[in-house]
Amino acid sequence: MTRLQPGESYHDIAVKLRLTAGVLACTSRKELCARFRAVNPATHCDLDRLHKWMQGRALPRAQSFYDDWAKVLGLARSGTWLAACPVEEFRAALPALDGASTDLALAGPMPRARGPSGGPGVLGGARLLCGDYACYSNAWAPRHRGTLIRGSLAIRPGKGARLVATYGETLLRGSMRISGEVTVTGRSIHFLVWEPDGNLPIFFSLIMPGPPASALCGMMSGVAFVAHVALPSASRVLMIRVSAAAALEASNRYLDPSPGFLTDDLARLGLRPGRGGALDALAAQYFASQADQVTPADQEAFIELLDPEHVPAPAPMQGLRRAAGRLRLADGN
């Protein structure tokens, strides 16, 4: 029987399992369980036990499970080491596996039941979103059309099972940070962020990823802030997970979408993707169209045609009497 080592907790095993799932690109606990069965058909890992282990509610007791785990990861380490090593030491052993990212949030275990932030999700639920992201979108300001704006997003645990998103931009030599609660519904993510004492709301609607949540794609909508008139706007947004949180927010700015813009910016944040050329080409295609905006002129054109349907025209006799009165005044009578 495997016993807890000094300083070890059920949560340590849960975190290690979530990191394992991220490295192996498993999109469900069922898929992770299948990886154990592939190395040992008689493995101690079954779906019910795995649910409890990944929630931090129980500890795998069979030494054979840890031996299977080492085989699943292809580590040149024993099952005993894997069970007892600190989380950070375990994490450091993983990057060599197919170059996969292990930058998963080391948040507490997620409940299996549905919570205020959405459903149970996969492999740790919605909290796999926790982290920092470089955000790219088409600029909304008329004077910056054709450029991108690089903002920042931080997703952090809130009260209970809730998550809080804080989005930041740098505008007119000033910074803006607006927050709101994250809602996960099925395979989508939604949050409305705005200033506590201001009136600058932005709504985000994104696709829920699997672990390790390296990128989020979706739409953002609101009103252009740097404009002389109200311009309701919507544009695509790309969010890429990074680890340099301090450097991220400090470098928010407008970007020229020239060749290599994305990999150059990510390199400044400590992220150097192996297929940088393909990533830049994909980003250029993704942002090929500009922001979609509605102008006051669009609305006025419709109002001119539709107002008469809601404002009664003067009665014919009243119109004739006014015309006759104007004629008498013109004649001096």
Query: 271 and 151: one domain?
Result: yes
Evaluate whether residue 115 is within a structural domain: no
Report the domain count for the chain: 3
Query: 153 and 284: one domain?
Result: yes
- Please name the helix (run of DSSP H) or strand (run of DSSP E) that holds residue 292, with its range, or none: strand 292-293
Query: 184 and 257: one domain?
Result: yes
Q: How confident is the model at residue 125 (pLDDT cuts 50, 70, 90)?
A: low
Q: How confident is the model at residue 292 (pLDDT cuts 50, 70, 90)?
A: very high
DSSP characters over 132-187: EEEEEEE--SGGGTT-EEEEEEEEEE-STT-EEEEEEEEETTEEEEEEEEEEEETT
Query: 159 and 285: one domain?
Result: yes
Compute the distance between CA of residue 168 and CA of residue 176 in angstroms, rounded to an integer: 5
Query: 174 and 29: one domain?
Result: no
Q: What is the mean pLDDT of the chain?
A: 81
Query: 210 and 236: one domain?
Result: yes
- Please give the pLDDT value at position 115: 43
Q: Which of 75-79, 96-100, 165-169 has the lowest mean pLDDT?
A: 96-100
Taking a C-beta distance cutoff of 8 angstroms, is the pair 135, 152 a contact?
yes
**Token pair listed for 23:** 């490295």
Evaluate whether residue 55 is within a structural domain: yes
Query: 288 and 312: one domain?
Result: no
Evaluate whether residue 1 is within a structural domain: no
CATH code for the domain in which residue 44 is found = 1.10.260
Evaluate whether residue 106 is within a structural domain: no
Sorted by sequence, the CB contacts under 8 Å of residue 171 that are 6+ apart come out as: 141, 225, 226
Query: 144 and 252: one domain?
Result: yes
- Please give the pLDDT value at position 12: 78
**Token pair listed for 45:** 């890992």
Tell me the residue type at 279: L
Evaluate whether residue 68 is within a structural domain: yes
Backbone phi, then psi, for 91, in 5-degree steps?
-60, -40
Which single residue is written with the structure tokens 């947004």? 237
CA dist 140 → 201, 299, 322 (Å)? 14, 18, 49
Evaluate whether residue 303 is within a structural domain: yes
Q: Print the domain residue range for 48.
A: 10-92
pLDDT single digits (tens) 25-72: 787 888 899 999 999 999 999 998 998 888 777 888 889 999 999 999
The overall longest dimension of the chain from CA atoms, in Å, is 115
- Please give the pLDDT value at position 305: 93
Query: 253 and 277: one domain?
Result: yes
- Please give the pLDDT value at position 110: 35
Query: 135 and 208: one domain?
Result: yes
* Mean pLDDT along residues 78-106: 68
Query: 62 and 145: one domain?
Result: no
**Token pair listed for 56:** 């931090």
Which of the pair, 139 or 22, is modelled with greater confidence? Answer: 139
Evaluate whether residue 277 is within a structural domain: yes
DSSP characters over 262-280: HHHHHHHTT---TTHHHHH
Evaluate whether residue 109 is within a structural domain: no
- Please name the helix (run of DSSP H) or strand (run of DSSP E) that holds residue 221, with its range, or none: strand 215-223
